[in-house]
């Protein structure tokens, strides 16, 4: 059996390690269990149906990786491995865990997802040092009480089961940073989920919520929110309170609009909105200064706003499966860079067009107070005047230069229109309205 196998352990990261992964093994060579100083054993990605009880001889074992095999049970001797801190037995055919699992008092990570478990043994809750527990993709319909005892737990994954509610006690875990509860047929989150004051990642996709889970809006430390496939049609205004959010997934819902308060999410880098009900592009996305990735594919959007070009960190834009007519199809087919360049060029045309229309209708004296109100100094006015064409009042150019150098909201045409109204230039503002010029 051992023929052709290298059974000589190596020191990796200061630990005596034997890597027998991906070798087509149907059993573990008995010689392995003679290496009593072994600290890490990796027999993952084989065809093992069992692990012999002789594994109990490896009393120095710190980490056991036996995932992606055909295991239907684990040896009882595993619970004697008192130094074991990491146990990875996911992607097998396990229906239960060994009796006495609570004896593994040093265990910090237990990964048993993608198996056939119908219950979590209560002994798991007696592991005082457990930090990561992954029981996702099993056949769990209930959780026995006691999860609140895992006071050191940082990550809990219970998605892809048959749970109808978040287990009692989860909201009493003071160190929880990652919680994944969907997909599951869960209709609502418990109100006391707001007690998770250090949570950074919450995953609730494909749950059966009637509306956006409002309790989430109080989780001020949240950095990643996955809420796709929940079938809600509105995002509350208070989503703008999640100031640390850098990933937001709202894909496969029924959204037609987004709240303007999303512009407050200055750290948002990744946004996933594919397969919703958007007829028009949500303009608030143009106000996200650090957005790098946007997937708004599979909607009913016909036009991208030129203002999107201001999201200059956007490197990955997916607008496929939309009936887009603007930008033209040949531009869209060239990818994100071409789309953004096109929108920027079009935005510059809009600015010049708008100001040229204004210049025809405005008395020269009206532009002086407007230019000064925008902060243009006399020196700047004089310098720019040299370059102003004879057929356009130089004050138009003075205003244009100052305004176009502004960033964020100050650079939008609507912001300029409002500025004109504030100065009581109502007729000028009317001329800037999209109904008065072609853009």
Select from 368, 373, 350, 375 the least CA-distant residue to 439: 350
pLDDT at 431: 59
Poorest-confidence range of 119-123, 156-160, 277-281?
119-123
**pLDDT at residue 339 greater than cutoff 90:** yes
Q: Is the pTM of this model over 0.85?
A: no
Whole-angstrom distance between the N-terminal and C-terminal Cα of the chain? 75
CA-to-CA distance for 206 and 320, rounded, in angstroms? 23
Interval 249-261 mean pLDDT: 97
Q: How far is CA 169 from CA 130, 162, 195, 231, in A?
A: 15, 18, 11, 27
CA-to-CA distance for 96 and 116, rounded, in angstroms? 8
Per-residue pLDDT tens digits for 183-218 = 999 999 999 999 999 999 999 999 999 899 999 999
CA-to-CA distance for 353 and 367, rounded, in angstroms? 17
pLDDT at 436: 47
Per-residue pLDDT tens digits for 123-137 = 999 999 999 999 999
**Does a cis peptide bond (omega within 30 degrees of 0) precede residue 183?**
yes
Residue 18 has φ and ψ, to the nearest 5°, of -125, 120
Strand boundaries in 208-323, DSSP class E: 224-226, 247-249, 270-272, 293-295, 316-318
**pLDDT at residue 364 greater than cutoff 90:** no
Q: What three-state secondary structure class fits 201?
A: strand
Interval 318-325 mean pLDDT: 97
Select from 134, 63, 49 the least CA-distant residue to 92: 49
pLDDT at 372: 60
Interval 378-407 mean pLDDT: 54
Greater model confidence, 439 or 2: 2
The answer to whether 104 and 76 have CB atoms below 8 angstroms apart is no
**pLDDT at residue 302 greater than cutoff 50:** yes
pLDDT at 347: 82
**Does a cis peptide bond (omega within 30 degrees of 0) precede residue 327?**
yes
Scanning the structure block, which residue is given the tokens 């819902």?
253
Q: What three-state secondary structure class fits 27?
A: coil
The structure tokens listed for 427 are 């007729």
* Residues above pLDDT 90, as percent of the chain: 75
The answer to whether 283 and 306 have CB atoms below 8 angstroms apart is no
pLDDT at 330: 95
Torsion of CA 31, 34, 35, 40, to 10 degrees: 80
Greater model confidence, 361 or 343: 343
CA-to-CA distance for 184 and 173, rounded, in angstroms? 21
CA-to-CA distance for 147 and 268, rounded, in angstroms? 32
Interval 126-153 mean pLDDT: 96
The structure tokens listed for 428 are 């000028």
Q: How confident is the model at residue 380 (pLDDT cuts 50, 70, 90)?
A: low
pLDDT at 390: 47
**pLDDT at residue 49 greater than cutoff 70:** yes
Interval 392-420 mean pLDDT: 58
**pLDDT at residue 236 greater than cutoff 60:** yes
pLDDT at 418: 72
Q: How confident is the model at residue 224 (pLDDT cuts 50, 70, 90)?
A: very high
Instruction: Give the DSSP H/E element, type plus range, for residue 360.
Output: helix 336-361
Per-residue pLDDT tens digits for 73-116 = 999 999 999 999 999 999 999 999 999 999 999 999 999 999 99
Greater model confidence, 411 or 299: 299
Instruction: Give the DSSP H/E element, type plus range, for residue 83.
Output: none
pLDDT at 439: 37
CA-to-CA distance for 381 and 258, rounded, in angstroms? 41
Q: How confident is the model at residue 273 (pLDDT cuts 50, 70, 90)?
A: very high
**pLDDT at residue 381 greater than cutoff 60:** no
Q: How confident is the model at residue 245 (pLDDT cuts 50, 70, 90)?
A: very high
Give me the domains of the chain, ranges plus CATH numbers: 187-326 (3.80.10.10), 347-436 (1.10.533.10)
- Angle at which helix 394-404 crosses helix 364-373, to 10 degrees, equals 20
Calculate the average pLDDT of the chain.
88
pLDDT at 168: 82
Q: What contacts 58, CB < 8 A, 6 or more positions away? A: 33, 35, 36, 38, 41, 81
CA-to-CA distance for 131 and 89, rounded, in angstroms? 16
**pLDDT at residue 367 greater than cutoff 60:** no
pLDDT at 360: 54
Select from 31, 137, 15 the least CA-distant residue to 64: 15
* Residues above pLDDT 70, as percent of the chain: 79
Q: What contacts 304, CB < 8 A, 6 or more positions away? A: 281, 319, 324, 326, 327, 339, 343
**pLDDT at residue 174 greater than cutoff 90:** yes
Q: What three-state secondary structure class fits 354?
A: helix
pLDDT at 19: 97
Q: What three-state secondary structure class fits 236?
A: coil
The answer to whether 336 and 309 have CB atoms below 8 angstroms apart is no
Scanning the structure block, which residue is given the tokens 């009692």?
168
Instruction: Give the DSSP H/E element, type plus range, for residue 178.
Output: strand 178-180
Poorest-confidence range of 26-35, 46-55, 158-167, 411-420?
411-420
Per-residue pLDDT tens digits for 342-351 = 999 988 777 6
Poorest-confidence range of 109-113, 313-317, 354-358?
354-358
């Amino acid at each position: 059996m051992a023929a052709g196998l290298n059974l000589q352990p190596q020191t990796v990261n200061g630990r005596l390690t034997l890597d027998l992964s991906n070798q087509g093994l149907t059993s573990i060579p008995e010689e392995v269990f003679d290496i009593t100083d072994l600290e890490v054993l990796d027999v993952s990605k084989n065809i093992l149906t069992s692990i012999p009880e002789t594994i109990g001889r490896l009393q120095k074992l710190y980490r056991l990786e036996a995932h992606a095999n055909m295991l239907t049970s684990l040896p009882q001797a595993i619970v004697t491995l008192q130094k074991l801190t990491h146990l990875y037995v996911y992607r097998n055919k396990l229906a239960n865990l060994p009796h006495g699992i609570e004896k593994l008092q040093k265990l910090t990570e237990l990964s048993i997802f993608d198996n056939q478990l119908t219950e979590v043994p209560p002994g798991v809750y007696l592991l005082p040092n457990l930090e990561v527990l992954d029981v996702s993709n099993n056949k769990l319909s209930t959780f026995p009480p006691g999860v609140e005892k895992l006071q050191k737990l940082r990550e809990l994954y219970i998605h892809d089961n048959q749970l109808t509610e978040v287990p009692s006690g989860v909201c009493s875990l003071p160190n929880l940073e990652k919680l994944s509860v969907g997909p599951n047929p869960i209709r609502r989150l418990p109100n006391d989920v707001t007690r998770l004051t250090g949570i950074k990642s919450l995953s609730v996709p494909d749950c059966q919520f009637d509306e956006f889970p409002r309790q989430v809006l109080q989780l001020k430390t949240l950095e990643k929110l996955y809420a796709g496939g929940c079938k809600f049609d509105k995002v509350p205004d208070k989503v703008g309170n999640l100031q640390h959010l850098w990933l937001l997934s709202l894909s496969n819902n029924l959204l037609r609009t987004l709240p303007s308060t999303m512009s407050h999410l200055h750290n948002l880098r990744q946004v996933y909105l594919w397969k919703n009900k958007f007829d028009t592009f949500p303009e608030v996305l143009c106000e996200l200064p650090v957005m790098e990735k946007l997937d708004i594919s599979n909607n009913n959007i016909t036009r991208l706003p030129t203002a999107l070009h201001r999201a200059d960190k956007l490197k990955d834009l997916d607008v496929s499966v939309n009936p887009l007519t603007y930008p033209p199809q040949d531009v869209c087919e060239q990818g994100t860079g071409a789309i953004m360049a096109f929108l920027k060029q079009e935005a510059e045309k809009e600015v010049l067009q708008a100001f040229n229309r204004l210049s025809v209708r405005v008395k020269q004296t009206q532009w002086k107070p407007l230019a000064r109100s925008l902060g243009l100094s006399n020196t700047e006015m004089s310098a720019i005047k040299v370059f102003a064409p004879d057929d356009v009042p130089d004050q138009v150019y003075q205003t244009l230069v100052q305004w176009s150098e502004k960033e964020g909201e100050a650079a939008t045409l609507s912001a300029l229109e409002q500025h004109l109204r504030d100065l009581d230039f109502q007729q000028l503002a009317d001329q800037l309205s999209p109904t008065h010029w072609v853009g």
